[in-house]
Amino acid sequence: MPSVQIMDQDAIRRAVLRMAHEILEKGGVKDLALIGIRTRGVVLAERLRTAIKGIEGKDVPGGTLDITLYRDDLTLVGPKPVVRETLIDFDITDKRIVLADDVFFTGRTIRAALDALVDFGRPALIQLAVLIDRGHRELPIRADFVGKNIPTAKSQNVRVFLGESDGQSDHVDVQGAV
Amino acid sequence: MTQWKHQHLLGLQDLTAEDIELVLDTAQSFKEVSSRDIKKVPALRGKTVVMLFFEPSTRTRVSFELAAKRLSADTLNIAASVSSTTKGETLLDTARNIEAMNVDLMVVRHGTSGAPFILAQGLKCSVVNAGDGCREHPTQALLDLFTLKEKFGRIKGLRVGIVGDILHSRVARSNIWGLTKLGAKVTVCGPATLMPRGIEAMGVEVCYDIRKLIKNSDALITLRLQKERQQDKFLPSLREYGRLFGINREKLAEGSDELIVMHPGPTNRGVELSAEVADGKQSVILDQVTNGVAVRMAVLYLVLGKHDM
């Protein structure tokens, strides 16, 4: 299937740095914690934490969320999807949580992530940071921090490649015809 | 990663090494759920799990029930003493009637080897074996494997001794299947009267000297001496068994300090294990119980997937 590259390594680096600035602008580092949604959201959350440390010189807590058990299509999919570990080793109650994910599409992943998060405590605020917003929401959910908005057809496939999770240089491409 | 393809879990004999690894990896993820304040995830919401127990059990039944509840499934307990089988209904009829109320999974324990197979063939819902006769107790072996992997970081190459009444033990059989499939070196040890002839064909070594076994093992799985099965004079006395095959501090000291001692429970203190060993720092008996919930959550989760695709 033909694919078109829409972000390269530099574009991704700049987008992450800008998002880090925006996160800080909207509330500083006080009570801030970043939680990545497996798998590439974890990479994005880590990069945002590194960028925030570079800007403010402070470490903010980070966590990993696996939303498999909260999916709304669990009874519809074939063999059960692989469940990975959720790692949140701090109390999220009264924290400002920034959820990170790579591609923001239907909003169902985020819905599941919100359900999962509230099982861990009651954050003061939950915000959403995504590298790509490709539209086609099926739920009333929006992102607070966006790396890049890409208009797509629903049939197209947006693929994000990040060094840490995919073993190849960072880039984003769109697969399939409009 | 491999995908789970089994509608039932009847024994480890039917699983591949990859299947077993998948259960262990999935259980690792589920272990965290039980450590939360809110110990519940919605993965099996709306599913109904029935425990059908024709033999007494506390640990296994409670463990399965907690596992199902922590996945948000509804659970129902049926004990043999109050079921219609005492009125003469057959096992399959009892199960079919329960299934007719639209249950999704039955966890079955039965004194007859193979009983879960009869149910699996005659029912549309999933069946998980919680112990059948002297044949298999797959979830016990899976939680033993999980505990070994947690303590040693691997199974391959581990030297594991299984001690006790091998003849009547479904725990021993399931563990032998699982351990050998994952590449552990298994030695079974016990009185000659309780050692099945030809057990070597399962890929294990036989040893009759507990001290030698302790010196050459990384882990010992001690089995409960089933007093209810000892009327047939397999043993002169429980005391003699304890003296020859029971593990106490003095015998344990001959092995490595890293050696771990396991037991599926319930323990006959002073027979298989002395109290100081059962409660000692080399004992992982309570870790096994904790891990049992995570392993059973993984099994319920995987078995209740769709398999007809």
Q: For A112-160, how does the pLDDT look when each residue is reduced to its tens digit (9 = 90+)?
A: 999 999 999 999 999 999 999 999 999 999 999 999 999 999 999 999 9
Which residues does chain B have within 8 Å of residue A85's beta carbon, measured at their own beta carbons? Answer: 28-29, 32
- Tell me whether residues B32 and A74 touch, CB distance under 8 A: no
- Over residues B303-308, the mean pLDDT reads 75
In this predicted structure, the answer to whether residue B275 has a pLDDT above a threshold of 50 is yes
pLDDT recorded at residue B309: 42
Which residues does chain A have within 8 Å of residue B41's beta carbon, measured at their own beta carbons? Answer: 69-70, 116, 119
Rounded to a whole number of angstroms, the distance from the CA of A120 to the nearest CA of chain B is: 7
Q: For B24-72, how does the pLDDT look when each residue is reduced to its tens digit (9 = 90+)?
A: 999 999 999 998 888 999 999 999 999 999 998 889 999 999 999 999 9
Helix axes A9-25, A40-56, angle to 10 degrees: 60
Which residues does chain A have within 8 Å of residue B301's beta carbon, measured at their own beta carbons? Answer: 80, 83
- CATH of the domain spanning B12-136+290-303, picked from 3.90.180.10, 3.40.50.1370, 3.40.630.30, 2.60.40.1250: 3.40.50.1370
Produce one character per residue of A17-29: b if its CB has 16 or more CB atoms within 10 Å, e if not.
bebbeebbeeeeb
- Work out the number of other CB atoms within 10 angstroms of the CB of residue B252: 21
**Residue B115 neighbours by CB under 8 Å, 6+ apart:** B54, B91, B108, B132, B133
A73, amino acid identity: D
ipTM for the assembly = 0.80
Q: For B173-202, how does the pLDDT look when each residue is reduced to its tens digit (9 = 90+)?
A: 999 999 999 999 999 999 999 999 999 999
pLDDT recorded at residue B85: 72
**B114 burial via Cβ count (<10 Å: 0-12, 13-18, 19+):** middle
Q: For A18-37, how does the pLDDT look when each residue is reduced to its tens digit (9 = 90+)?
A: 999 999 999 999 999 999 99
Rounded to a whole number of angstroms, the distance from the CA of A121 to the nearest CA of chain B is: 8
Give residue A123's domain range: 3-175
* A31 touching B (Cβ < 8 Å): no
Which residues does chain A have within 8 Å of residue B67's beta carbon, measured at their own beta carbons? Answer: none
* Selection from B221, B223, B241, B202 nearest residue B283 by Cα: B221
Kindly report the pTM of this predicted structure.
0.90
How many independent structural domains does chain A possess?
1
- Tell me whether residues B32 and A70 touch, CB distance under 8 A: no
Q: For B97-156, how does the pLDDT look when each residue is reduced to its tens digit (9 = 90+)?
A: 999 999 999 999 999 999 999 999 999 999 999 999 999 999 999 999 999 999 999 999
Query: For the domain B138-288, what is the CATH code?
Result: 3.40.50.1370
Rounded to a whole number of angstroms, the distance from the CA of A3 to the nearest CA of chain B is: 26
Q: For B206-239, how does the pLDDT look when each residue is reduced to its tens digit (9 = 90+)?
A: 999 999 999 999 999 999 998 777 667 888 888 8
Query: What is each CA distance from B174 to B6, B20, B45, in whole angstroms?
Result: 17, 12, 30
Determine the Cα–Cα distance for residues B146 and B101; give it in Å rounded to an integer: 34
Residue A159 is part of a domain; what is its CATH number?
A: 3.40.50.2020
B235, amino acid identity: L
Which residues does chain B have within 8 Å of residue A74's beta carbon, measured at their own beta carbons? Answer: 43
- Tell me whether residues A80 and B32 touch, CB distance under 8 A: no
**Where along chain B do its domains lie?**
12-136+290-303, 138-288
Determine the Cα–Cα distance for residues B96 and B17; give it in Å rounded to an integer: 32
Residues of chain B with pLDDT > 90: what percent? 85
> Quick check: do B12-136+290-303 and B138-288 share a fold?
yes
- Tell me whether residues A82 and B26 touch, CB distance under 8 A: yes
Rounded to a whole number of angstroms, the distance from the CA of A25 to the nearest CA of chain B is: 33
